[in-house]
Structure 1
């Protein structure tokens, strides 16, 4: 087991990893920018190192400063959390060159899954169902028209190197295609420094289903069930739940087993999430995230397994602690991402939190690094906390969520709490009857 882990992140995920390390008896080091000097994870860590000014590129994305912090403090491993350097193959390679363990997959696996075109090819080779589309990058209008005609309109053009909705354009007819292709390439080049794009069939009313997987790097793989992340705004997840209200036990087992076998065949090490669009009983691979997900607590709630403990165990060479037959699913869990944003316009709302009170009681978990008097800086992601609720079934979970949202108090800034109080009372949400377009349509109506 590791002696000392450096946590290369901030906010609630840094605190989440720190807690896991403490439970395992591992010393912790956190890095921080000058803007985060008073952050909770900095206060609670065994050691902290300031690595630069507020801009991420000069602090949390500064690989050389983070490696130097490892060497200064004697950290023998780095946990990257999510975001920042968590899916940076170069970072994983540099750590390996300095004999520091990256708590995550190999640089090669990060590279494969970071390239959306190569990821799709790999998924297809491993037996994972994929969305019909181009086999590689599309560069010319003529080629785009040929592929689109083969798979049928509407189609979606996606950036190979990207995510988060950037470099994505939908073409409903051939007349739309040329403009959509050029716009997507331009956006991809500006956002990711790579204008490569590919084409896929655009599904009309899909759900976003993702499968949590783990590999030991030596040919074993397991899955921890699926999460439904269909409630999204601009391709950003807002509400996640497990298990999905859209799947039955047979579908759940089928896609989980496919993913577990694929991870084993790939020789993958650590946590990963294989993401699908799901429509009319069929799953279509869209990407794989080679890291811990923001929404991992809902999986922990229904399985009772600490996924960060499992990450650390696998990275230290201890292998997986469970077999597939050991993993049982208990009840239902929902996570709401609480952001420092206006609940209607989604404009960021940095500032000082004057009063912070979290809900409690059976089945309630709040992952947050903020507190009363904490000043939210304007430089980073607006996520300030996650409310995770667990119940014996979805009905109990929804009732518990309604109660927890009523208890949650954040004063001094605007948050998305009012949005969730609206959603929990909506009949479509109560019935689990929604797709990836539902939330944006709901918001557009101003309900």
Structure 2
């Protein structure tokens, strides 16, 4: 029996595994990089071990250090979580060779399926040879052979883009997984991403635990997932189950795993097998009433599964809450997460708590919110409503995008495919800030500054406050009168530091206001208080390219020098942040009048990278 378990991972998944361990009476050990010394997963574990030496982005890829940590902490088992070394057969062998229990499939099964190219061969599917690709093969998808999460993937629609796509995918895959191998496969424009959860024991029993639809993706990384996948025929569902079981049998699989498919025109196309727990596993847990982490541990201890899997009940939907700005090419965001609170009735899996810092070294996912209900429509409504009421004070997030996506007719109708955001992103990210938010912020601030009364016997000019909201500047005016604070067009029912109540057209509305320095949050709207007198020197030359996020310059366009002519949309600089590469392009056609970015340079948001003088 396992008594102490080390999780070779961080953040949300480490916290999730620790939760099941506590329920089972198993002691827990966390590992952490220097950047994660105060992270939530290190605080909730029974013990924590620092992994020395490596850079933060590489720390959790050091299997030798993790095995040493497990032995030093007295652990007798290791759970890899997902990502990092979760599908690394060498790491699994090292754990077993150290006399520890491995919570996962046999190394041989990982090895057979960890490379997507070898997995396809095992299933009788051939990848495209790079040298043989012609126009009629397009579009194609360049894909990392190892790992997942959308890293190391590029869509190629023109042959002259293939070389750059291969180079970028290899670099991104090597950084994220320590393996730069990539392959090319046909890209189906309007397929649905459907997968089957499996659970297998050492006694020959394999459970296919339903389907999941994960079609809503950005940068090939899932955003919203649900179980069961809607609209599949019984025959297709049975085919998916059979193929998933076939894949598991082919490698003598043990433990939890996922077999992924692209479904198009009523047919299933095998993509890959993930020999680990998936990020979206909670929707299966909610529908089948199982704890997949607990089942993984029991299987590793040698327990047998029941002959038949549990019955499915209802529908579950999960939304991944990311610190990113979808309207700015999904740029990851960093900073202090002052507050994160989701209404009761929705499951929240997270690796953050109030006051934590969202850093630059790791994936920007803050949390996963999961709703379960008797029907799909009820689950959608419950999750959308809960996200809409979720309090998030901190970095910009994709919360509004998630709410709008859940309520989009294409999604509610069960017709969404992997091209959903390609078609609808612009409309889904149009700003819709609350027009009363700046006034509410100003009135709350005014109350805090005038607790001993600001009324004057002599009429005076109104007070003026300026805020930036959704990229635009807003100026609001209010007055201190005999009855307290007042503003044109509305009646101020109440104005306090944390609560403002306004009446307009006979309707009262309540606004919760929180301020952290110049950052002000009015319900779900984020504002920045602006100085009364703007700095006249804070002007940038037209065509200035600023770093949109903290990160590292990994590449500057080959041969690019000051004075060169560049075309609008041409890639100039590539930044790496949170294990993803982000391309900075020329905003206009013109002359590169300044180039400050250098490979290897660490940059902060707003740093000037280059200047393109318009033609």
Q: Fold conserved (TM > 0.5)?
A: yes
Aligned mates of 1:136, 1:352 — CA distance in 2: 44
Residue 28 of structure 2: SS of its match in structure 1? strand
Of the two structures, which has the highest relative contact order with CA contacts closer than 8 Å and spacing of 6 or more?
Answer: 1
3-state secondary structure, aligned to 1:344? helix
Match of 2:133 in 1: 144
Q: Output the CA distance in 2 between the equivalents of 1:167 and 1:299.
A: 26
Distance in 2, matches of 1:251 and 1:137, equals 26
Counterpart position of 2:257:
272
Deviates more, 1:217-226 or 1:233-242: 217-226
* Equivalent-residue separation in structure 2 for 1:80 and 1:191 (angstroms): 21
Aligned-partner SS, 2:331: coil
1:332 aligns to 2:301 (yes or no): no
Cα distance change, pair 379–204 in 1 and its aligned pair in 2 (3 A): closer
Give the 5 Å matches for 1:395-434.
395-434=377-416
**1:239-286 deviation line (CA, Å, top 9, x unaligned):** 101111131333223311331243134311111111100011100001
- Alpha-carbon contact 1:239-1:336 (below 8 Å) kept: yes
Preserved CA contact (<8 Å) 1:34 1:54: no
The alignment's TM-score, normalised by the length of structure 2, stands at 0.65
Change (3 A) 1:170 1:217: farther
Kindly indicate whether the alpha-carbon contact (under 8 Å) linking 1:242 and 1:332 is maintained by their aligned counterparts in 2: yes
Partner of residue 22, structure 1: 22
Match of 2:185 in 1: 200
Q: Give distance in 2, aligned partners of 1:203 and 1:354.
A: 41
What is the CA RMSD across the aligned residues, in angstroms? 2.2
- For 1:10-409, list aligned pairs within 5 A: 10-52=10-52, 55-124=55-124, 135=126, 138-140=129-131, 143-145=132-134, 154-161=139-146, 163=148, 164=150, 166-171=152-157, 176-177=158-159, 179-192=160-173, 198-319=183-304, 321-323=305-307, 325-345=308-328, 346-361=330-345, 364-409=346-391
Partners of 1:264 and 1:272 in 2: how far apart? 12
Per residue, is there more helix in 1 or in 2?
Answer: 1
How has the CA–CA distance of structure 1 residues 286 and 416 changed in structure 2, closer, same or farther, with 3 Å as cutoff? same
Tell me, yes or no, if the aligned pair for 2:342 and 2:390 is still in contact at 8 Å.
yes
Question: 1:444: how far off?
Answer: 4.1
Instruction: Find the residue that maps to 1:329 and give its secondary structure.
Output: coil
Whether contact under 8 Å (1:33, 1:60) holds in the other structure is: yes
Number of residue-to-residue matches in the alignment: 423
Structure 2 counterpart SS, 1:240: strand
Unmatched segments (≥5 aa) in structure 1: 125-129
Q: C-alpha separation between the residues in 1 aligned to 2:30 and 2:182?
A: 37
Secondary structure at 1:328 match in 2: coil
CA distance in 2, matches of 1:159, 1:400: 36
Q: Which stretch of the first structure deviates more once superposed, 219-228 or 58-67?
A: 58-67
Max Rg structure: 2
Taking a change above 3 Å as real, the CA distance of residues 352 and 93 of structure 1, as seen in their structure-2 partners, is same
**CA distance 1:73–1:230, shift in 2 (3 Å):** same
The question of whether the paired residues in 2 share the 8 Å contact of 1:189 and 1:195 is answered with yes
Say whether the 8 Å CA contact 1:219–1:264 is kept in structure 2: no
Deviation at 1:98, TM superposition (A): 0.9
Paired with 1:198 and 1:189, the residues of 2 have a C-alpha distance of 10
- Determine the C-alpha separation between the residues in 2 that align with 1:262 and 1:407: 42
Q: Which runs of 5+ in 2 are unaligned?
A: 431-615
Partner of 1:251, secondary structure, is helix
Encode CA deviations 1:63-119: one digit per residue, 9 max, x unaligned: 222111111111111111111111111111111111112211122222221222210
CA distance in structure 2 between the aligned counterparts of 1:121 and 1:107, rounded to whole angstroms:
18
CA distance in 1, matches of 2:405, 2:155: 28
Q: Is the 8 A contact 1:144 1:199 kept in 2?
A: no
Distance 1:58 1:156 in 2: 27
CA positional deviation for 1:228: 0.4
| CA displacement 1:380-435 (0-9 Å, x = unmatched) | 11011000001100111111112211221110221111111221221111112211
Cα gap change, 1:208 to 1:38, in 2 (>3 Å): same
Separation of aligned partners in 1, 2:99 and 2:53? 27
What's the CA shift for 1:5?
A: 0.4
Output the CA distance in 2 between the equivalents of 1:280 and 1:402. Answer: 30
Mapped partners of 1:29, 1:312: distance in 2: 15
Contact 1:159-1:185 at 8 Å conserved across structures: no
Partner secondary structure for residue 250 of structure 1: helix
| Counterpart Cα distance in 1 of 2:8 and 2:271 | 27
Matched residue SS, 1:413: coil
Deviates more, 1:293-302 or 1:94-103: 94-103
CA distance, structure 1, for counterparts of residue 98 and residue 299 of structure 2 = 20
Give, in whole Å, the separation in 2 of the partners of 1:202 and 1:377.
Answer: 33
Distance 1:138 1:181, change over 3 A: farther
- Larger strand proportion of the pair: 2
Other-structure match for 1:127: none
Is the 2:144–2:151 contact (alpha carbons within 8 Å) kept by the matching residues of 1? Answer: no
In the alignment, is the contact (CA less than 8 A) between 2:313 and 2:374 conserved in 1? yes
Cα distance in structure 1, aligned partners of 2:69 and 2:325: 37
